[in-house]
Each structure stands twice: as C-alpha cells, then as structure tokens.
Amino acid sequence: MWNINFNELLEFNESLDRIAEKEQQLSLKRPLPSIAVQKIKEGLFVEWTYNSNGIEGNTLTLRETRVVLEEGMTVKGKSLREHFEITNHHDAIELVEKMVAEKNSFTERHILDIHEMVMLKIEKEFAGRYRNAGVRIVGANFLPPNARKVQDLMSELVAFVNQNPMNLHEVILATVFHHRFVWIHPFLDGNGRTVRLVMNLILMQHGFPPAIILKNDRKKYYDALNQANSGSYKKLLLLVIQALERSLDIYLSSFQDTDDEYLPISSIVMEPDMPYGQEYVSLLARTGKIDAYKEGRNWLTTERAVKEYVIKRRKK
C-alpha cells in the first residue's frame, strides 16, 4: 500500500464539502449561457497555459501568452521553443476537453496522447513515449525509478485511479495521482505540464473545472511534492483544493448575486463590523479555512465567507 498519512487529510473534509456545495450551486444554474461560459473558459485556458508553463521556466508573461494564442503573433526576444510550449499546451487543453466529452474510461493512452501534444514540435522523437533512460530532478529529495519499471508503474497508477481501492474523494484521488506520476517521472521531458493536464482530465471527468496551480506558488508546489514523498499530502492537497476552488469561484462569481462579490481582503476588513484584521483573514485564506481564492499575489474573499467563519467560531 502506498505511504499516505490519512489522518492529516481529515482536516480537509470541510473544504471538500465546500467544493461539493459550490459544484452543486453551479449545477443548479445550468444550463449556463453558452457565450458567458465560453468567455470564462477562454480566460481560464490562457491562465492555465501561462501558469503551467511558467512553473517550468517559460518566461512569457500572461499578456504575451494571450497575444501568442489570440493573435498568433511572436514575441520579440522569446525563443521559438517558448512559443511552441504555449501553443502546444493550449492544444493539449483542447485535447483534454475532447477526452472529457467522449466520456471514456481513463487509460494510459490518454496520458501518452496528452504528452505527445505537449512535446509536439519540441522533442518529437520522445513525444508520447515513456523514457528509456534514467533521470534526475534538480531540487527533488528522491531519485525516480529505473526506466525499466516505468511501464508497469504507470499501468498500476492508471488502475489505481480507475479502481480507487482506498475509496478516496475524487480530489484526493487526483492529488495522489499527481504526486505518484511525478515520482515515477515517466517521460524524459514535459512531465510537469503533462501531470497537471492529466490531473485535470481526472477532475474534469468527475464534473469539476480545472485546478490551475499558479506560477506564484511554484516554490510551495515543489515543497509540497517533496513532502508527499514521505506520505504527507497535506500541502499538495491544500494547493489543489485552493486551485480548484478558485476556478469554481470564477464561474460562480459570473452568475452570482452581488452580495457574494469576491473582493481583496484589504477591502473586506475595512467593513465596520469586521472583527479581524487583514493579516488574520489572509492566514484563514492561505490555510483554506474560509472561501477564498488567489489572483496573482492577492487573496480574494467575500464578506459572507468571513462572517460565516466568525459565527462558527462563536458557536465553538
């Protein structure tokens, strides 16, 4: 059995319930206006491409990423590879959407096809093929398994997702998959972009929007993956939950009443009846204690979310 500290995951039950509630709220609003949904998707997909590539070192800004994708232009001073990383990743997102729509069971073929799209026009020789040599990961606290074991380990991982023998919540299941994939490191290059795409394939197959891990959280993300190697999934799960909740909030805020408007925490704490300061509310947001999401380096929440937390604390 894989090394997972289940006790520390219990504290996320409330956050997972909140995500389920938001998913239900979104379902109740369906069918959503198609034009509005398309606009939200377009924005999310650009952000997804920018952040996932940025985590891996791509230097194009969010604005430049949008220019490349929407106007088909090249950016002066940026390499051809960086441009291909942008267009490949966006095409891979469209492939993921197609896979979700097909409603087929999750397979290794999905993983290989997504990787092939990610590496197209960059390293075509290795695109969509498991590695045949050893690899080392700079800054990681582990050495990936021998290349000869990759095929069996990936088959085991796909079976784990489909069978879910531990009866894990879908978000936890996708998080465990994410770490295990990184530990196997099945490809010579493109593992990070691929795993974040495939994790979202799993989430989207279960009806969730994509969880976009932000470039600004790069250090937290790598630290969380290293901690997962010793069985502690707490930090990685928190990042995935916050990323998923952010996408849900973006959808809901487009179709919600103004009473639930998401505002910077600095604005929320200025309300006259607010008992907490900005530093404490920011801590609540970072640790997943309140409904909040991150934009750049700033946390956004609603007045309702903070007041509900206050009421809950008083009851205790």
Catalytic residue positions? Answer: 185
Helix axes 191-205, 80-102, angle to 10 degrees: 20
- Candidates 159, 153, 219; CA nearest to 187 is 153
Return the beta strands (E) in the chain as ranges.
263-264, 292-295, 298-301
CA distance 39 to 93: 15
Q: Which two tokens stand for residue 101?
A: 């729509």
CA distance 213 to 54: 10
Indicate the DSSP class of residue 301.
E
- Whole-angstrom CA distances from 120 to 57, 88, 128, 129 are 18, 7, 9, 12
Question: Residue 273: CB partners within 8 Å, gap ≥ 6?
Answer: none
What radius of gyration do the chain's Cα atoms show?
20
CA distance 177 to 244: 16
- Whole-angstrom CA distances from 189 to 231, 236, 264 are 25, 22, 38
CA distance 198 to 313: 38
Q: Which amino acid is at 63?
A: R
CA distance 291 to 283: 12
Q: Which amino acid is at 231?
A: G
